[in-house]
Amino acid sequence: MQTQSVDVHEVADRLGEILDLIATGTEVVLTDGPTPVARITAVGASPGASRAQPRVPDLHPDAMRTSDDFDAPLPDEFWLGE
């Protein structure tokens, strides 16, 4: 996916051009001077969507464990901030 930067102060004047870029698959990063402030992509697009692989069940078996007291009530000290 190509990326193009546009300063936020230029958006109103270039909105048609920006929408055309997005429609052709270009990601537009809005900047305020040198600082990026927002990213605009086509609806439904996500970074890396074309590279997404289906999820594989049990890819990392036993990688996570839940403690025996996971759902036990927390002590009053926790809620009182003591």
pLDDT digits (tens, 9 = 90+) for 54-80: 888 888 888 888 999 999 999 999 999
pLDDT digits (tens, 9 = 90+) for 5-63: 999 999 999 999 999 999 998 999 999 999 999 999 888 755 555 556 788 888 888 88
* Listed residue (41, 31, 38) closest to 5, CA to CA: 31
Cα–Cα distance measured from residue 31 to residue 66, given in angstroms and rounded to the nearest whole number: 43
Domains of the chain are: 1-45 (3.40.1620.10)
pTM: 0.52
* Listed residue (23, 14, 66, 58) closest to 41, CA to CA: 23
